[in-house]
Structure 1
Amino acid sequence: MLIGILQTGHAPDPIQPDYGDYSDMFERLLGGQGFTFRTWNVVDMDFPTSTDAADGWLITGSRHGAYEDHPFIPPLEDTIRAIYASGKPMVGVCFGHQIIAQALGGRVEKFAGGWSVGRRAYDYKGAQIHLNAWHQDQVVERPADAETIASNDFCAHAALVYGDRVYTIQPHPEFGRGVIEGLIAHRSSTVPDDLVDAARAALPEPVAQDRIARDISEFFRKERRA
């Protein structure tokens, strides 16, 4: 199964020698599941010509806001709607979670409650899990077709499913300890010091990367009606 990765931003240059770009992180997360991958750097205006270019689609995180005025946002929303109409499975993470919701009728905003960074607890499908987060924006109104499957007191719509077509999640299952350390070092200048300190202190604690990797893989492979 070929997974098309729509890369909507780039990892900080200083961490790329060790961890690669965001597309590389997802290839590692989903490695060993029988998938192959191709990346389109949509943030740089590199778009697939057809939804048939891949069997399933994954939209990455980004430092950009879904509601901001960037050249890649309108064609990405058009691509999202085309994938949704095609019935091919689509996954979104962080910015991907947000831009899919926005494209399909939800609302995204810079959250008045501020930032969520580092290890956070979520009620996920009725169980508590921990994942690494790094965001201020979030989905504040979900699309009509979406069901919330994860939340916490800070983020009401931390994961959404749209029938068997779309699975999206706000925190970052692709971010392990090293990536969070890199973000603390290179992208935390606008994050309050107390949140950075708490994220640093939680670095040794486990996160449920394997659980979400399994759920994403099963979502992609699920049998769907033609």
Structure 2
Amino acid sequence: MKIGILQTGPVPADLVSEFGEYPGFFVRMLKPYGFDFESWSVVDGVFPESVEDADGWLITGSRHGVYEDHPWMEPLMQFIRDAIAADKPMVGVCFGHQAIAQALGGHVEKFKGGWSIGPVTYRFPSGDKVIHAYHQDQVITPPAGAETIASSDFCTHAALLYPGKALSVQPHPEFGDAYTRALIEKRGPGVVPDDTLAAAAAKLGTPLDSGEIAEMFARFFRERTIS
């Protein structure tokens, strides 16, 4: 099964040499499940020719907001709608989570409660799972037909299931401690409040359940279900 990865934002330039670009994060996470991959940098205006270019689609995170006016934003929204209409399973992470919701009629905004960063406990139907977060924007109103399947104390709609069609999560199961630490130390200062960064850094090292989310993604791509 071929998974097409739509890259919606770059890794900060000073971190690329150590960590690579975002499609590689997901390839490493999902490669054990036997998928093939191809990626397109939609943030640079590079789109697949057709939703048929892959068997399923994954949308990455981004520093951009889905409400921002960029030349690639509306084509991405249309691609999401077209892929869903063509019955291609879709997974979204962080920005991808928000983009699917926005494209299908939900509402996303910059959360007035601030930032969520570092290991966070999310309540899933199968139990609590700790996953890295790095966001301020949130899905405030999910689209019609979407089911909220995870939440945290900070984020009400932290994962959405569009039965048989799409699965999306607000946190970053593709992030490990090293990359989150790099973001905290090199990208956070001056953008995120110092106390939020310090609290996030103090939680690094907390055991993560990212592998369970990777398994959930793989199951959804293959079976259109999460359990």
Relative to the length of structure 1, the TM-score reads 0.97
Higher mean alpha-carbon deviation, 15-24 vs 4-13, is at 15-24
SS in 1 for 2:215: helix
Distance in 2 (alpha carbons) for counterparts of 1:92 and 1:72? 17
Look up the match of 1:139. Answer: 139
- Residue 3 of structure 1, CA deviation: 0.3
Look up the match of 1:217. Answer: 218
| Residues 173-200 of structure 1: CA deviation (Å, up to 9, x unaligned) | 0000011011012210211111111111
- Residue 218 of structure 1, CA deviation: 0.6
Alignment of 1:125-164 (within 5 A): 125-164=125-164
| Residues 163-222 of structure 1: CA deviation (Å, up to 9, x unaligned) | 111000000000000110110122102111111111111111111110000000011111
- Residue 31 of structure 1, CA deviation: 1.6
| Residues 123-179 of structure 1: CA deviation (Å, up to 9, x unaligned) | 012511111000000000000010000001210100000011100000000000011
Aligned residues of 2:163 and 2:224 also touching (Cα < 8 A): no
Look up the match of 1:204. Answer: 205
Distance in 1 (alpha carbons) for counterparts of 2:22 and 2:120? 20
Q: Which amino acid aligns with 1:130?
A: V
- Residue 17 of structure 1, CA deviation: 1.7
| Residues 41-78 of structure 1: CA deviation (Å, up to 9, x unaligned) | 00000001111000000000000000011111000000
Alignment of 1:83-98 (within 5 A): 83-98=83-98
Q: Which amino acid aligns with 1:64?
A: H
Q: Which runs of 4+ in 1 moved over 6 A?
A: none
Distance in 2 (alpha carbons) for counterparts of 1:123 and 1:194? 25
- Unpaired stretches in structure 1, ≥5 consecutive residues: none
Distance in 1 (alpha carbons) for counterparts of 2:17 and 2:215? 27
Distance 1:85 1:181, change over 3 A: same
Alignment of 1:27-38 (within 5 A): 27-38=27-38
Aligned residues of 1:12 and 1:186 also touching (Cα < 8 A): no
Look up the match of 1:193. Answer: 194
Alignment of 1:64-79 (within 5 A): 64-79=64-79
Q: Which amino acid aligns with 1:92?
A: G
Look up the match of 1:112. Answer: 112
SS in 1 for 2:178: helix
Identity %: 54
Look up the match of 2:26. Answer: 26
Distance in 2 (alpha carbons) for counterparts of 1:72 and 1:152? 31
SS in 2 for 1:182: helix
Aligned residues of 2:93 and 2:170 also touching (Cα < 8 A): yes
- Unpaired stretches in structure 2, ≥5 consecutive residues: none
RMSD of the TM alignment (CA)? Answer: 1.1
Alignment size in residue pairs: 224
Find out whether 1:182 has 2:194 as its counterpart.
no
Look up the match of 1:61. Answer: 61
